[in-house]
């Protein structure tokens, strides 16, 4: 059981670890990395029960017998890692006590971190978006476990062989339901200078949107080859991001598409309430850039003028960050609702009922994102006609029809700033396309219509039935009112 106070002081002169040494049942095989805060060792179980799983041991580096930040940060990681699960974090195996030798044993993720890719920046737009979407998906999974990472940067991001992003190094993290040892013991901002959010500079450590700001910094760097806020080394330098805007990415790299600048600058807004409200919403835009709503951010080519900077500087002097909802509540108020609309086959009555149901659901969630999706069925084999008899694109026609269906929702709820997007999916299997879109984009709630019943449909199965059976989120099926 971890205590809230400072951990016991480690031995003044701990015995150096050596290859071949056995520590609490783990054999040290090879030192892989010596960092400023910790050493990483490849280890195995001394009894040979690894079953082919590669293990990594992280051991804190204690310089001069006592380093409070290192000690407390390592205790935070020891406390947090057993609480985490899923493919986006290393699997926790064991931890060692400070009275003998502190360590954490975890699954070893093969390969390097994302850090070396910074040397190749600027990267192709498609790669920047792909990296960002995968990291945002990992953050969404972490935030659902009530944890804010607070040190998102390329050196803390790895990828499994299948491309899944893995977040590492939780020494600065904050768990909503556990003591915040760092806040209790330190009075300076904690984080990595180039990536810290404005609220972290103001000592706020419980806002998941801080991680989205850091991801925005990373996307900026990968897209332009430059850091948006330089590399400040003082609190004064850190505070500049409260009132000085970064140079717009397209002013550095003009060929960047407006949608990518829109996404990056949306992440880098000073006030958290002006950023994306969840990592899942950010991942959706990065995967489906055609649905990104462009604002003045997309066309910006200059930083703000001197007068505006002076005004923002003045207000930043005594500004206090707004109260932050717990991470769980923040995510619950920012769901992605997916309206799956069968534009071609549903009756007008069903379309109207579906529209009304979606409007009522989104109306109850002030921060909800509505993704309107329609599937254009194509053949598995062979050539499809992509235009109608008048030569008009079938895809565009379906997109226009989808937007027309959603017009009453948009008008009633005044959805703005990218909260309403449209997606036409081309696929031979409508149910499979809906399920895949929802899974890839972290959809929280699918709302769809069900057409009339018949013996044939009961025998073959329905699209809505398959979506209900196979989706990993809430599904609401709407039927047209009885005649």
Question: Are residues 182 and 81 part of one domain?
Answer: no
Q: Give the pLDDT score at 198.
A: 93
Task: Give residue-wise pLDDT tens across range 406-419.
Answer: 999 988 888 765 78
E strand residue ranges, 47-120: 55-60, 92-96, 103-107
Whether residue 265 is found in the same domain as residue 291: yes
| pLDDT, tens digit (0-9, with 9 covering 90-100), for 282-291 | 999 999 998 8
User: What confidence tens digit (pLDDT) does each residue in 53-73 have?
Assistant: 899 999 998 765 555 777 888
Q: Are residues 361 and 460 in the same domain?
A: yes
**What is the C-alpha separation between 206 and 331, in angstroms, rounded?**
13
- pLDDT of 387: 66
Report the C-alpha gap between 336 and 277 in whole angstroms: 11
Q: How many domains are there within the chain?
A: 3
Q: Using CA atoms, how far apart are residues 10 and 18, in angstroms rounded to an integer?
A: 18
Computed over every residue of the chain, the mean pLDDT equals: 86
Are 445 and 369 members of one domain?
yes
Residue 162 reports pLDDT greater than 50:
yes
Q: Write the CATH number for 227.
A: 1.10.510.10
Mean pLDDT of 316-345: 76
Q: Is residue 15 part of a domain?
A: no
- Pairing verdict, β 55-60 and 103-107: antiparallel
**Confidence band, pLDDT 50/70/90 cuts, at residue 104:** very high
Residues 317, 391 within the same domain: no
In a domain, 483, yes or no: no
H or E, element range at 298: helix 296-299
Decide if 140 is inside a domain: yes
* End-to-end C-alpha distance for the chain, whole angstroms: 63
Residue 412 and residue 467 in one domain: yes
Q: What is the CATH number of the domain that holds 38?
A: 3.30.200.20
Residue 184: predicted pLDDT: 74
- Note the pLDDT tens digit of each residue in 106-150: 999 999 999 999 999 999 999 999 999 999 999 999 999 999 999
For residues 342 and 422, membership in a common domain is answered with yes
**At residue 388, does pLDDT exceed 80?**
no
- Taking the C-alpha atoms of residue 376 and residue 388, their distance in angstroms, rounded to an integer, is 13
Average pLDDT over residues 198-211: 92
Q: Dihedral of CA 340/344/347/351: which sign?
A: positive
Q: Which of 314, 330, 346 is the last residue of a domain?
A: 330
CA distance 330 to 463: 32
Looking at residue 325, its pLDDT comes to 66
pLDDT at 24 over 60: yes
Are the C-beta atoms of 335 and 284 separated by less than 8 Å? no
More confident of the two residues 248 and 390:
248
Region for 11 from its dihedrals, namely left if φ exceeds 0, alpha if ψ lies in -120 to 50, beta otherwise? beta
Whether 88 and 144 map to the same domain: the answer is no
| Claim to verify: residue 276 and residue 376 sit in the same structural domain | no
Tokens of 445: 């709630």
When pLDDT is averaged across residues 178-196 and rounded to a whole number, the result is 83
Q: Where are the beta strands (DSSP E) in 292-381?
A: 336-340, 369-377
What is the pLDDT, as a whole number, of residue 465? 87
Which of 107, 134, 155 marks a domain boundary? 107
Whether the per-residue pLDDT at 247 is higher than 80: the answer is yes
State whether 187 and 267 are in the same domain: yes
Residue 384 has pLDDT above 70, yes or no: no
Confidence band (pLDDT; 50, 70, 90) for 220? very high
List the CATH number of the domain containing 467: 3.40.50.620
Residue among 154, 194, 151, 192 nearest 174 (CA): 151
Q: Which of 208-212, 271-275, 371-375 has the highest mean pLDDT?
A: 208-212
Confidence of residue 157 (pLDDT cuts 50, 70, 90): very high
Residue at 13 is within a domain = no
Residue ending a domain, choose from 107, 132, 164: 107
342 and 280 in a common domain:
no
Beta bridge partners of 447: 339, 476
Of 36-50, 86-100, 151-165, 318-332, the one with minimum mean pLDDT is: 318-332
Predicted confidence (pLDDT) per residue in 423-459, tens digit: 888 888 999 999 999 998 889 999 999 876 554 445 4
Domain range enclosing 35: 22-107
**Residue 226, in any domain of the structure:** yes
Whether 299 is in a domain gets the answer yes
Residues 174 and 314 in one domain: yes
CB 157 within 8 A of CB 166: yes
Domain-embedded: residue 14: no
What is the length of the chain? 483
* Residue 9 in domain: no
Q: 199 or 243: whose pLDDT is higher?
A: 199
Q: What is the pTM of this model?
A: 0.83
Distances (CA, A) of 247 to 217, 221, 286: 12, 12, 21
CA atoms of 295 and 285, how far apart (whole Å): 14
């Amino acid at each position: 059981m971890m205590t809230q106070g400072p951990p016991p002081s480690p031995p003044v002169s701990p015995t150096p670890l050596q290859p071949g040494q056995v520590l609490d049942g783990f054999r040290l095989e090879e030192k892989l990395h010596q960092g400023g805060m910790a050493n990483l060792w490849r280890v195995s179980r001394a009894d040979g029960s690894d079953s082919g799983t590669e293990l990594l041991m992280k051991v804190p580096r204690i310089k001069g017998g006592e380093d409070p930040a290192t000690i407390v940060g390592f205790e935070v990681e020891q406390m947090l890692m057993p609480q985490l699960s899923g493919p986006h974090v290393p699997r926790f195996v064991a931890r060692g006590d400070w009275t003998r030798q502190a360590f954490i044993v975890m699954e070893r993720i093969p390969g390097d971190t994302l850090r070396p890719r910074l040397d190749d920046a600027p990267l192709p737009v498609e790669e920047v978006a792909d990296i960002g979407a995968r990291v945002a998906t990992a953050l969404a999974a972490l935030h659902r476990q009530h944890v804010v990472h607070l040190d998102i940067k390329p050196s803390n991001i790895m990828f499994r062989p299948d491309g899944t992003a893995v977040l590492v190094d939780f020494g600065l993290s904050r768990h909503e339901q556990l003591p915040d040892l760092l806040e209790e013991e330190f009075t300076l901002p904690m984080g990595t200078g180039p990536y810290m959010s404005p609220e972290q500079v103001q000592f706020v450590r419980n806002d998941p949107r801080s991680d989205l700001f850091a991801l925005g910094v990373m996307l900026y760097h990968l897209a332009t080859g430059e850091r948006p806020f330089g590399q400040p080394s003082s609190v004064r330098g850190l505070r500049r991001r409260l009132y000085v805007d970064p140079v717009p990415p397209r002013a550095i790299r003009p060929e960047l598409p407006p949608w990518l600048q829109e996404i990056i600058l949306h992440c880098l807004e000073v006030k958290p309430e002006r950023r994306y409200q969840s990592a899942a919403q950010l991942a959706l835009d990065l995967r489906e850039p055609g649905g990104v709503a462009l604002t003045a951010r997309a066309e910006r080519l200059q930083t703000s003028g001197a007068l505006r900077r002076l005004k923002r500087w003045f207000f930043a002097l005594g500004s206090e960050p707004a109260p932050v909802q717990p991470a769980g509540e923040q995510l619950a108020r920012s769901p992605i609702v997916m309206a799956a609309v069968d534009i071609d086959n549903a009756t007008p009555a069903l379309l109207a009922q579906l529209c009304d149901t979606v409007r009522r659901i989104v109306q109850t969630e002030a921060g909800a994102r509505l993704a309107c999706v329609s599937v254009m069925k194509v053949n598995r084999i062979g050539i499809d006609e992509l235009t109608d008899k008048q030569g008009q694109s079938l895809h565009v026609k379906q997109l226009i029809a989808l937007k027309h269906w959603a017009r009453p929702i948009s008008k009633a709820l005044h959805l703005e700033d990218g909260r309403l997007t449209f997606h036409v999916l081309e696929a031979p299997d409508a149910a499979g396309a809906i399920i895949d879109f929802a899974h890839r984009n972290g959809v929280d709630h699918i709302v769809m219509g069900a057409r009339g019943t018949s013996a044939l449909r009961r025998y073959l199965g329905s699209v809505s039935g398959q979506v209900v059976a196979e989706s990993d989120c809430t599904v609401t099926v709407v039927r047209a009112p009885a005649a």
